[in-house]
Structure 1
Amino acid sequence: MQSKIDVAVMIGLGVPQSFRDRGQRVCWVVLINGEQRGTAFSSRAEAEECRSAWMRQLTMAA
Structure 2
Amino acid sequence: MQSKVDVAVMIGSGVPLSLRVVGKRVCWVLLVNGERRGTAFASRDEALECRAAWLAHLNGTQPEQVSRQAV
> Structure 1 length as normaliser, TM-score?
0.94
Give % identity: 68
Q: Which runs of 5+ in 2 are unaligned?
A: 61-71
Equivalent residue number for residue 8 of structure 1: 8
**In the alignment, structure 1 residue 58 sits paired with structure 2 residue 58:** yes
Q: How far apart are residue 21 of structure 1 and its match?
A: 0.5
Structure with the bigger percentage of strand: 1
Give ranges in structure 1 of 5+ residues lacking alignment: none
Does residue 34 (structure 1) correspond to residue 34 (structure 2)? The answer is yes
Runs of 4+ in 1 over 2 A off after TM superposition: none
- Give TM-score, length-normalised by structure 2: 0.83
**Alignment coverage as a number of residue pairs:** 60
Question: Aligned AA for 1:34?
Answer: G
Q: How large is the RMSD of aligned CA atoms in angstroms?
A: 0.4
For residue 50 of structure 1, report the CA deviation from its aligned partner.
0.1
Residue in structure 2 matched with residue 23 of structure 1 by the alignment: 23
Write the distance in 1 (CA, Å) between the matches of 2:16 and 2:26. Answer: 9
